[in-house]
Structure 1
Amino acid sequence: MTAPALQKSSPVAGQVVLDATDVTMRFGGLVAVNKVNFSVNEGEIVGLIGPNGAGKTTFFNCLTGLYKPTSGTVRYLGKTLKPQPVAVTRAGVARTFQNIRLFGNMSALENVMVGRYCRTSAGVLTSILHGPRYRREEKETVEKSKELLSFVGLTDVGDHLARNLNYGDQRRLEIARALATEPGLLLLDEPTAGMNPQETGEATDLIFAIRERGVSVVVIEHDMRFIFRLCDRVTCLVRGETLVEGTPAQVQSDERVIEAYIGSGPTHANKPATEKSLDEEAGA
C-alpha cells in the first residue's frame, strides 16, 4: 500500500499566510509567551526581535509544532496547525534553528534530500524493492536538492560532509534543507549569527531571493541593522509579550523598544531611538 501524494496549497495573492492568535506557553509557573498575536501576509518578510529571554525562540517552537501551546491557535492558510512538527512541515511551514541542526556525517546533498522526502509518496514496499515510483522520485529528489544547493550558493560542496563545511555554509545548507520541504512560509532563527558583514549581506540577498520564489519569511535576529533593512514589518517581544509592532521605521523610533534593549537609566534617558543605538546594544 502506498501513501497518498502530498499536496501543498498555494497562497492567494494578498491573503494572510500565518495567523497566530493569543498564543500562550507556560512552563509550570513560568509564562514564556503570553497571549501573543502575530500574522504574516503573502510575500512579506517579518522580523521578530527582543532582548535575550524575550520568548522569541519559544514562540517559534509554538508556531512549528515543537511545543504545544498552553492556549491559543496557530493557523496556516486558514487551517489550524496540529502541534506536531511533521504535520506543520507538510502543511507548508519550514524553519531553521538557532543552533544548527544538520546531519554532520551526511553529505550536503544528502542533508537537503532529507528535507525533500516529506514531499515524496512512495510507500514502504516500493522503497524497499526500489520500484519504478521510488526510482523516479529518488531521481527528482536528487535533481531538486542539487538545484537548491546551487540556489543558496553551495554548488561545489554537495559531496562534502556537512560537519566539514564552514559556519556560513552550514547556515546556508540548513536553509536549503528547509526549502526542500517546499514551504510557503520559512522561519529563520538567527540566520546571521556569527557571520561577518560580507556573509550577512549575502544572507540578506538570499532571503530576498527566497521571497522572489513565493515564500514568506519570518526572521529572528539580534542584528538590528540587518532586521531594519530586510523586513517589511517588525514585532518586538519583551518578557513574552508583544511590546510593539509596525514598520521598521516605527519600531526603530519607538522609545519603548530602546528602553527594552538599553534600559531607561540616566545615561540613556534622552538617547534617541536610532538604528545605531540598537545595533550597539545588540552587539554588546
Structure 2
Amino acid sequence: MTVTEPQSTGHQVGEKVVLEANGVTMRFGGLTAVDDVSMKVHEGEIVGLIGPNGAGKTTFFNCLTGMYIPTEGRVELNGQTLPPKPLKVVKAGMARTFQNIRLFANMTALENVMVGRYCRTSSMALTSILRGPKFRREEEATRVRAQELLDYVGLARSTELLARNMPYGDQRRLEIARALATDPQLLLLDEPTAGMNPKETEETMHLIRKIRDSGLAVVVIEHDMRFIFNLCDRVLCLVRGALLVEGTPGEVQSDHRVIEAYIGGDDEEESA
C-alpha cells in the first residue's frame, strides 16, 4: 500500500494532552463495534484515524462526542471526564462534522454558522422571545463572528447563499465553519474530503493545517490515504473495532498489518 512518501509537517506538537480516551468499548448486543480503543491527542496535533469500511471509526467518534454511551471506558477532555451528552460535550470544547453533510438546507451560509454559535450565548427563553437588549447584543455579536468564520474558511462571498445551492466542496467547508463557531479546543472531522475533486481536497488540507496552526487539535477520519499520510502528525489504524497499529505516517504506511487489512494477506501466512 505504498501511496506516497509522507511529507514531514515540520510542526511542533504541544505537550498538553487535550483528549484522552481510555479503553473505549461499544457493543450492540453481541456485536462489538469498538473494542478497547485508547487514544491521546495533544495540543496542536493532527491525528488521522484510518481503517477499512466497518472498522468502527465513526462509531468511535460517536462515543467520543456523546452520541453513544460507551459500554466501557471513559473519555476525558483537558483532564475532565466528558458526560455522554452531545450538547455538554460541545460546551466542554469538542466539535465535529459528519460523514454525511448535515446542514440546514434552507438556511443561508451565515445562518448555518450562527446556529453553531448559539451554544456560547446566554440569553434565556423570555429574553429571546421579547428580543430584549441582551438578545439583540448577542445576536449581533453572533452574526459578526459567523461572518468572520465564513471569511476564515474561504466562503466570504457565500454569506447569503442557501446551503442547498452551494457547491459540494463549499458545503463541506461550511460544516467546518459551523463547528468552529462553537469555540472548540478539539475538532473531529469525519471524512471531510469525501466526494471532493483533487483541487478541493488540497484546499481542505490547507484549511485543516490553518486550523491546527491556530492552536486547535484535530482528529480526522479519511479513506484518502494520500491525504492522511501527508496531513497528519500521527495515524491510528482500526480493524474490526480494535486498534491495529499507531505511529507516524511513515511507520503506519509501511506496516505489513495495515497493508493486509486493506488488501488482504496470503492465506498460508495468516494460518501460520
TM-score by length of 1: 0.88
Pairwise CA RMSD = 1.3
1:190 & 1:156 partners in 2: Cα distance?
25
2:102 corresponds in structure 1 to 101
1:253-277 deviation digits (Å, cap 9, x = unpaired): 10000000001138x99xxxxxxxx
Task: Provide the secondary structure at the position in 1 that maps to 2:54.
Answer: coil
1:189 corresponds in structure 2 to 190
Residue 188 (structure 2) pairs with residue 199 (structure 1): no
Residue 213 (structure 2) pairs with residue 244 (structure 1): no
1:41-190 alignment, distance < 5 Å: 41-190=42-191
1:138 & 1:14 partners in 2: Cα distance?
37
1:81-140 deviation digits (Å, cap 9, x = unpaired): 001100100000000000000000111100000000000011111111211211111111
How far off is 1:14 after superposition?
Answer: 2.0
1:278 corresponds in structure 2 to none
Task: Provide the secondary structure at the position in 2 that maps to 1:35.
Answer: strand
Q: Which amino acid aligns with 2:51?
A: G
Q: Identity of paired residues, percent?
A: 70
Unaligned runs of 5+ in 1: 1-12, 270-284
Q: Which runs of 4+ in 1 moved over 2 A?
A: none
1:14 & 1:103 partners in 2: Cα distance?
38
Q: Which amino acid aligns with 1:88?
A: V
How far off is 1:40 after superposition?
Answer: 0.3
Q: Which amino acid aligns with 2:116?
A: G
1:235 corresponds in structure 2 to 236
1:57-83 deviation digits (Å, cap 9, x = unpaired): 000000001100001000000000001
1:23 corresponds in structure 2 to 24
1:14 & 1:204 partners in 2: Cα distance?
23
2:7 corresponds in structure 1 to none
Task: Provide the secondary structure at the position in 2 that maps to 1:183.
Answer: coil
1:272 corresponds in structure 2 to none
How far off is 1:54 after superposition?
Answer: 0.2
Aligned length: 256
Unaligned runs of 5+ in 2: 1-13
TM-score by length of 2: 0.92
1:20-70 deviation digits (Å, cap 9, x = unpaired): 000000000000000000110000000000000000000000000110000
